[in-house]
């Protein structure tokens, strides 16, 4: 098991290198630092001095890959690639355009992101699975058909609509909770309730329908017929047999997103003014702060790979037949 | 000539897509085994009604794709001068909607502007009141006549539409029966749609049916123009995604070994980056390129259009990994089957095995993935435009409409119509696409048990 995990972690390294090279190409080769400087300062009347100054301030004045002016190891380390891209492997993300440390910003913003994303994830999971089980229990009846129709309708609605409509209904019309904002401590529930509710409702259509398909696939199998034949009630069959056996396909889709919860949700956080990583990313995109976007891309893929490894581990927990070796 | 046809990049890609669609249909038409699943789709009432709705959207989108530049009245020494403004056939058809702009916001069917202004009446007295609209309901002398007039116009319009719908229904009835299409649902849908279109068209001639936006543009016009953007995002993206996913997926599954390793590495790297971030990074870089090379574009329409094409390209490059994985898995399964091994032992070349034996047998996966992706892409456009990495802000799309209308929710009284219109149109488009996609999946998925015998 330990050897397997080590191998998986080692396997993650080339993928992260690939991500790193990709972002390096995207941010420094497709457009040179000069292009970016011109764009940031403004197109008209840009003096070469201004560009040099902009590059110097951000450390973009070095050569891309090989610094022939430096000596020894400096030939490789005193370059943009080494200082801006390779350093990410040590989780050293450098500084954003307003001069703050990106690493520290990530650590402080993770809290609010998780405070919204974790409850949304768990409440959502329980709600979707219960709804899907309900539809499976009443399969091929009017209730099931109505449920599926509702799911298709809900998944055809834009995610933006849930947020805007929810804010309008709950905050503006009914004045139940503030429209946006965030506070720690006892007050936090007031601010978190609506984003969590909207997050759960927004996912109900596609997720419940997907779980229903998984359950229906399980329910046609032989062991289910055996269970029924020995006289188990439909509910016992559903919970004790179908749900347990459907765990593998459910986990495949679910566990992989758990680490990504750290990143928060771009839309929810920006609409509700939650100071998490999602709104950090969206602000960086709007301000065209490339170093922050680069850091988030790297962080996101590292978390995704962690999710893949977690998925494998979770298999061993729900299915004793799976052995990692 | 009084106009000069213009083919923008996205137009060319749409025509290419259309041509390949027609070619595929022609090919399938004469092969019974390929036609069979489509017959099953054709018998599905929900699918056919959805298709009817979708084809209306498609018609608007296609008319909006035929671009031209109109000739200006003055000539430059005998040479015709063309207007710099790129218009489409659709713009010409709904010209009143496009040109009849008000000063600023007005509610649906309103006769007056949304905000009070100082107006001087005939006696020279200055009043602080809601000014009448320039076009919306301008034919009415008395404000009190409005409700009656709206109802009258809606009814006559609906009646006209109904008559036209009836003619279409009678004309196509025979054809529907011949091909075993669900007759009653389709006729009812045709009549309803025709009545709706008739009523809207007749009302839109005199009122702003969905109100006007901040700069006084008709919201109905904006919504109809958004359709093309949504359709292009949903379809042109597949032009990029499909070849990548098909060739790489099939090659990885068939050749295995180092080819498989390289391709797997490639798609693991791409899919490990959260897609919004990857798209954001790529779009930001594209923006830098476009902004630093302004001389590439002769007008703003060309720039917005190229940005749309680039967005499709980026969406395609970031979204081929899922389909590629599916195709690789299916090919791995197929290559072990006897008929492939027989072909191999006959000495058939790998290329021929891939094109003749493997690709036709993974087509159902591709088709299902494409129709399922369409609605997701239409929805994604709105989100990306909100995040700031979508289409050009000057391009009319559901995303830019929502983005512009978002802040209007805070106004008193609320400006709700633009937002409602964008979400409503999007819902109808995506819902129809989802329902149609479901029927296609059910008809093509071999895992589903079917009682009928395969012909």
Give the tens place of pLDDT for each residue, B17-55.
Answer: 999 999 999 998 888 888 888 988 988 899 999 999 999
Instruction: Find, among B310, B317, B322, the residue nearest to B373 by Cα.
Output: B322
Contact A297 B387 (CB under 8 A): no
A135, β-bridge pairs: none
Query: Which member of A23, A156, A300 has the closest CB to residue B430?
Result: A156
**Rounded Cα gap, residues B139 and B390, in angstroms:** 40
Q: Minimal Cα distance from B419: which residue of A? A: A161
Alpha-helical (H) ranges within chain A are 2-24, 33-41, 48-58, 74-77, 80, 102-137, 142-155, 159-166, 188-219, 222-229, 234-236, 243-245, 247-254, 266-272, 277-286, 290-318
Sequence ranges of the domains in chain A: 2-90, 109-318
Helix (H, G, I), strand (E, B) or coil at A111: helix
Q: Does the domain spanning A109-318 belong to CATH 1.10.3720.10?
A: yes
How many CA atoms are closer than 13 Å to the CA of A244, on its beta-carbon side? Answer: 12
Q: B143 or A261: whose pLDDT is higher?
A: A261
Structure tokens given for B222: 């904006």
- What average pLDDT score do residues A196-221 get? 92
pLDDT of residue A324: 67
Q: Minimal Cα distance from A295: which residue of B? A: B277
- What average pLDDT score do residues B416-429 get? 93
Contact call for residues B203 and B136 (beta carbons, < 8 A): no
- What average pLDDT score do residues B84-106 get? 87
| Lowest-pLDDT choice from A43-52, A154-163, B264-273 | A43-52
Contact call for residues B140 and B111 (beta carbons, < 8 A): yes
ipTM: 0.88
- What average pLDDT score do residues B145-164 get? 91
Contact A263 B389 (CB under 8 A): no
Contact call for residues B225 and B64 (beta carbons, < 8 A): yes
Helix (H, G, I), strand (E, B) or coil at A95: strand
**Rounded Cα gap, residues A205 and A221, in angstroms:** 26
The pLDDT of residue B247 is above 80: yes
pLDDT of residue B426: 95
**Rounded Cα gap, residues B312 and A101, in angstroms:** 34
Q: Minimal Cα distance from A298: which residue of B? A: B273
Contact call for residues A195 and A274 (beta carbons, < 8 A): yes
Contact A164 B430 (CB under 8 A): no
CA distances, A89 to each of A84, A262, A310, B270 (Å): 10, 18, 20, 18
Residues in chain A: 325
**Rounded Cα gap, residues A254 and A244, in angstroms:** 15
Q: How confident is the model at residue B2 (pLDDT cuts 50, 70, 90)?
A: confident
pLDDT of residue A325: 62
pLDDT of residue B447: 67
**Rounded Cα gap, residues B366 and B441, in angstroms:** 11
Question: Taking CB atoms and an 8 Å cutoff, what residues of chain B touch A18?
Answer: 265, 268-269
Question: Taking CB atoms and an 8 Å cutoff, what residues of chain B touch A46?
Answer: none
């Amino acid at each position: 098991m330990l050897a397997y995990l080590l191998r998986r972690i080692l396997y993650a390294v080339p993928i992260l290198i690939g991500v790193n090279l990709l972002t390096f190409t995207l941010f420094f080769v497709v457009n040179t630092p000069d292009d970016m400087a011109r764009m940031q300062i403004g197109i008209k009347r840009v003096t070469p001095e201004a560009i040099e100054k902009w590059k110097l301030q951000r450390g973009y004045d070095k050569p891309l890959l090989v610094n022939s002016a430096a000596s020894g190891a400096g030939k490789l380390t005193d370059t943009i690639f080494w200082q801006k891209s390779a350093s990410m492997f040590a989780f050293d993300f450098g500084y954003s355009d307003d001069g703050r440390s990106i690493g520290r910003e990530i650590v402080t913003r993770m809290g609010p992101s998780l405070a919204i994303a974790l409850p949304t994830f768990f409440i959502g999971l329980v709600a979707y699975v219960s709804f899907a089980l309900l539809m499976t229990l009443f399969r091929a009846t009017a209730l099931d058909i109505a449920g599926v129709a509702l799911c298709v309708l809900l998944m055809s609605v834009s995610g933006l609509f849930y947020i805007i409509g929810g804010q309008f209904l709950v905050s503006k019309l009914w004045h139940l909770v503030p429209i946006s904002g965030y506070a720690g401590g006892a007050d936090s529930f007031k601010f978190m309730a609506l984003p969590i509710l909207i997050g759960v409702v927004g996912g109900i259509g596609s997720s419940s329908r997907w779980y229903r398909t998984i359950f229906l696939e399980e329910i046609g199998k032989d062991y289910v017929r055996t269970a029924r034949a020995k006289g188990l009630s439909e509910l016992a069959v559903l919970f004790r047999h179908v749900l347990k056996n459907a765990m593998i396909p459910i986990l495949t889709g679910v566990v992989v997103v758990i680490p990504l919860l750290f990143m928060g949700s771009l839309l929810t956080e920006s609409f509700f003014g939650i100071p998490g990583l999602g709104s950090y990313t969206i602000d960086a995109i709007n301000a065209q702060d490339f170093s922050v976007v680069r850091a988030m891309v790297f962080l996101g893929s590292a978390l995704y790979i962690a999710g893949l490894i977690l998925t494998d581990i979770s298999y061993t927990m729900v299915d004793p037949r799976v052995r990692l070796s | 000539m009084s106009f000069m046809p213009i083919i923008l990049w996205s137009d060319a890609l749409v025509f290419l897509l259309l041509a390949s669609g027609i070619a595929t249909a022609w090919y399938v038409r004469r092969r019974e085994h390929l036609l069979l699943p489509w017959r099953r789709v054709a018998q599905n009432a929900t699918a056919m009604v959805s298709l009817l709705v979708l084809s209306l959207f498609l018609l608007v989108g296609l008319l909006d794709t035929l671009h031209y530049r109109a000739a200006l009245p003055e000539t430059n020494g005998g040479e015709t001068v063309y207007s710099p403004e790129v218009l489409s056939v659709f713009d010409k058809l709904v010209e009143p909607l496009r040109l009849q702009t008000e000063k600023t916001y007005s509610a649906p069917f309103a006769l007056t502007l949304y905000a009070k202004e100082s107006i001087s009446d005939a006696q020279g007295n200055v009043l602080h009141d809601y000014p009448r609209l320039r076009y919306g309901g301008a034919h009415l002398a008395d404000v009190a006549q409005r409700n009656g007039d709206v109802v009258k116009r809606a009814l006559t319009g609906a009646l006209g539409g109904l008559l036209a719908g009836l003619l279409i229904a009678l004309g196509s009835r025979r054809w529907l029966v011949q091909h075993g299409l669900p007759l009653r649902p389709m006729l009812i849908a045709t009549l309803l749609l025709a009545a709706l279109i008739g009523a809207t068209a007749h009302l839109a001639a005199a009122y702003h049916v969905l109100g006007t936006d901040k700069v006084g543009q008709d919201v109905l016009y904006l919504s109809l123009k958004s359709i093309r953007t949504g359709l292009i995002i949903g379809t042109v993206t597949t032009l990029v995604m499909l070849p990548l996913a098909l060739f790489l997926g099939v090659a990885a599954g068939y050749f295995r070994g180092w080819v498989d390793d390289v391709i797997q590495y490639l798609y693991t790297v791409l899919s490990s980056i959260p897609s919004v971030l990857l798209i954001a990074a790529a779009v930001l870089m594209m923006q830098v390129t476009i902004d630093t090379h302004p001389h590439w574009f002769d007008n703003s329409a060309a720039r917005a259009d190229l940005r749309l094409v680039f967005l499709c390209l980026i969406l395609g490059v970031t979204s081929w990994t899922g389909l590629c994985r599916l195709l690789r898995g299916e090919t791995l399964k197929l290559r072990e089957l006897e008929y492939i091994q027989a072909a191999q032992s006959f000495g058939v070349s790998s290329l021929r095995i891939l094109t003749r034996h493997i690709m036709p047998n993974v087509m159902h996966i591709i088709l299902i993935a494409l129709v399922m992706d369409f609605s997701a892409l239409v929805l994604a456009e709105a989100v990306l435009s909100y995040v700031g990495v979508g289409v050009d802000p000057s391009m009319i799309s559901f995303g830019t409409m929502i983005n512009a209308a978002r802040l209007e929710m805070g106004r008193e009284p609320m400006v709700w119509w633009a937002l409602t219109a964008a979400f409503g149109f999007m819902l109808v488009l995506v819902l129809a696409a989802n329902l149609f996609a479901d029927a296609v999946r059910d008809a093509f998925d071999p895992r589903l048990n079917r009682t009928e015998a395969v012909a």
